[in-house]
Structure 1
Amino acid sequence: MLRPSRALIDLDAIVHNIREIRRYLRPGTIFMAVVKANGYGHGAIPVARAALDAGAEWLGVATVEEGIQLRRAGLTAPVLVMGPILPTQADLVVAYDLRAAVFEPELAQALSAAARRLGRPVRVHLKVDTGMGRIGVRPDDITAFGRILMDLPRLEVEGVFTHLAKAGDPDPTYTHEQLSRFETALASLESIGLKPRYRHAANSAAILSHPEAHYDLVRAGIAIYGLVPGCRQSWPVNLRPAMRVVSRIAYIKTMRPEECVSYEATWTAKGGERIATIPIGYADGFRRLFSNRGFMVVGGKPCPVVGQVCMDQTMIQIPPDVPATVGDEVVVLGPGFTADDWARVLGTISYEVVCLIGRRLPRVYLREGKIVEVAEPD
């Protein structure tokens, strides 16, 4: 029996979004679907399968463990681990046929040694730091590092990539500077005879606003989930949000004057208000910051949160013109209170909103409006 609170994932929206994004690519450009962080909270395995069905050729993750999860699910598409990898994880990278981002000699040497031990090649993508400032080789150090990689047996430099920090900014200056540094790095590698098959720089924002950054492969993350990347409010592409979070009214009462609601008694009734209790709380990702300032939607009408959001329950005020009863559906995240709305109230971004939807909420996967899979909490 599923909890009344659940996350509904529209796999058709994932497919639709990928096909829409592909319209912006040159023929032959490889499409990587980024499914890190449990598919941005949507579920890595079902999203990955839907993405591959939609024509994505590669998958991107942040950690070795995420890559192994894809392999154990039977997915054979190329998988790039884009985040830091410890040398002690080299054997796992090779054994599970994962691509690794490299930017330090110690990891490259460990991967080469693992490949020799296991009798199979390892493919790596050289990460260049052109201005993100997280990980990567600086462009002026790229030649020396490239020579190190070229000398390592069983190690193939399959790709070279960078990450754009402000691709969604209406002012393109910083992105152009990063791409210029990337071009310098590519020229430096070519000067020593290293010309990797895959050059890539474009995240979701750059795919839609910087076609010069597409190169051989693009990495689409937030956009495949139907959310607008970067700091702009709209894009010239028809994206459909893939996630809705819903619950049901568990209890309704009519308040008496001076009665209070929830911890610390931060909300006091004037009398006559109808207050509904919803079985979802901050342990499910409905943040405590929504206390007395968030909303849920009942009958198409916004219902303000009253009192403090609890770990497992939240109270909302039902408008007088909404004939709500126990068992009625409540939209927690979706039309009427979207991920972008959440982000504005919380002072964050939609990426964080969907990633923090609690894992104890069942994920219910839909195709053509019908349930095709249910992922219960562990």
Structure 2
Amino acid sequence: MRLYRSQRFIRPDLECHISSKALKHNVRNLKSLCKDGTKYCAVVKANAYGHGIAEVVNILKTEDVDFFAVNSFYEALHIDTLIDRQSILIFEAVYPSQPREQILISAERGFHCPVASADAVNFIQDVLEGSSHVFNAHLNIETGMSRCGLDQNEAQTLIDLIDQAPNVRLAGIYTHFATADEVELDYAYEQLRRFEDFLGTASIRKRKDVIIHASNSAATIKMPEANFDMVRCGISMYGYYSRPMTDPPIKLSPTMKLQAPIARLKHIPAGHSVSYGRSFVPYRDTVAAIVPLGYADGYWRCFSNKAPMMVGEHVGKVIGRVCMDQLLLDVTDVPGVAVGQMVTIIDDKHDSPCGGYALADLAETICYEILTSVHAHVSRIVH
């Protein structure tokens, strides 16, 4: 059997602190929005949104969590030995040219996977023919995302084909919302209507062994009608509302704090340019902290000359260009600043000047991209 392993290099002085208390608090609050019996799927793809997939799975495997969701077979295999009783849902659909052993392993270990074509169903059945293994297939219904979903006729054809395949069973039917995180929810509710129409037409609700799921984090919070048999929560599990909300129904607490030490203090005279491109020239004599973190570690170059960091209770500003492995921080006004002192790069407070939302605004992106950019070689420390 082919091995799917990689060696990991971890840099211990770059510290990504993960709060198990905050993570569990968020999961419990999200579950409180669901009716009794609703399954909870913890989305841990993309290295658990940058938090560390093994660390997050180990925290949550003893909680009331039914599924862990990943993007690929490789992520599923990575966490399979960590979990106790949960199932694993893979979002990447089966395709007929993937290695046959992946289908066999998926069936043996009970992974749940989307199937998006008749060729894929036939491929799975061919691999498992004559064995006692049954493959857990999910169908993604197109309701308006226009990405990976099947139209209703395609989906019905696949349901009929799956029902005739001895080694494949229909384990789930789902859809994905395109705009549930926006203030205006008309389109999301139109998607929900289309999904419910399909469930009725295909008589899915009568099939008690099929898990119906639609809600992502935003829909779990804002569209209780869409929760069905299971919710799939990603970003909100890590403490964010997809987009900031003024009056959220539940409180979420960020679970990540990213820190790095001051490696050196450098005195820069007024008028002397700083770093690549001479993009910053101080107007006064400046004390700069050299922090051993850069865009290779997941801290974006666009934060050059504008992003704040916290040094204790004081704010320092990035000066000059963020380099591949280091950056400079203006700490002239930080009292008692010292080499070895830890600097907070991404804070675990929503109202912090270097919180996830604030950095996303600076970068003109979303908090997801800020969090998932934290490199895997940064040390994850669980509290």
* Global fold match (TM > 0.5): yes
Q: Say which of 247, 256, 261 aligns to 1:248.
A: 261
Distance 1:107 1:235 in 2: 42
How many percent of aligned residue pairs carry the same amino acid? 28
The structural deviation recorded for 1:322 is 2.7
Match of 1:333 in 2: 346
Match of 1:285 in 2: 298
Q: Say which of 77, 81, 84 aligns to 2:86.
A: 77
Q: 2:11–2:378: 8 Å Cα contact kept in structure 1?
A: no
Aligned 1:98-113 pairs, distance under 5 A: 98-113=111-126
Aligned 1:120-269 pairs, distance under 5 A: 120-190=133-203, 197-230=210-243, 232=245, 235-269=248-282
SS in 2 for 1:332: strand
Q: 1:80 to 1:321 in 2, by over 3 A?
A: closer
TM score, norm. by length of structure 1: 0.91
Distance 1:236 1:322 in 2: 40
Match of 1:364 in 2: 381
- Could you tell which deviates more after superposition, 47-56 or 165-174? 47-56
Q: 2:204–2:210: 8 Å Cα contact kept in structure 1?
A: no
Distance 2:13 2:53 in 1: 23
The structural deviation recorded for 1:112 is 2.2
SS in 2 for 1:165: coil
Question: What amino acid is the match of 1:357?
Answer: V
Aligned 1:11-30 pairs, distance under 5 A: 11-30=20-39
SS in 1 for 2:18: strand
Aligned 1:53-92 pairs, distance under 5 A: 53-87=62-96, 88=98, 89-92=102-105
TM score, norm. by length of structure 2: 0.90
Distance 1:127 1:285 in 2: 32
Match of 2:312 in 1: 299
- Could you tell which deviates more after superposition, 188-197 or 66-75? 188-197
The structural deviation recorded for 1:143 is 2.3
Q: 2:272–2:281: 8 Å Cα contact kept in structure 1?
A: yes
SS in 1 for 2:258: strand
- Could you tell which deviates more after superposition, 212-221 or 82-91? 82-91
- Long gaps (5+) in structure 1: 367-378
Q: 2:320–2:328: 8 Å Cα contact kept in structure 1?
A: yes
Distance 1:311 1:194 in 2: 54
Q: 1:193 to 1:73 in 2, by over 3 A?
A: closer
- Long gaps (5+) in structure 2: 1-9
Q: 1:49 to 1:169 in 2, by over 3 A?
A: same
SS in 1 for 2:285: coil
Match of 1:342 in 2: 359
Q: 1:256–1:271: 8 Å Cα contact kept in structure 2?
A: yes
Match of 2:18 in 1: 9
Q: 1:103–1:128: 8 Å Cα contact kept in structure 2?
A: no
Question: What amino acid is the match of 2:237?
Answer: I
Are residues 1:34 and 2:51 paired?
A: no
SS in 1 for 2:177: coil
Question: What amino acid is the match of 2:136?
Answer: R
RMSD: 2.0
Match of 2:330 in 1: 317
SS in 1 for 2:202: helix
SS in 2 for 1:206: helix
Distance 2:117 2:131 in 1: 22
- Could you tell which deviates more after superposition, 70-79 or 132-141? 70-79
SS in 1 for 2:79: helix
- Could you tell which deviates more after superposition, 260-269 or 316-325? 316-325
Are residues 1:273 and 2:286 paired?
A: yes
The structural deviation recorded for 1:338 is 0.8
Q: 1:166–1:230: 8 Å Cα contact kept in structure 2?
A: no
The structural deviation recorded for 1:233 is 5.5
Q: 1:94–1:111: 8 Å Cα contact kept in structure 2?
A: no
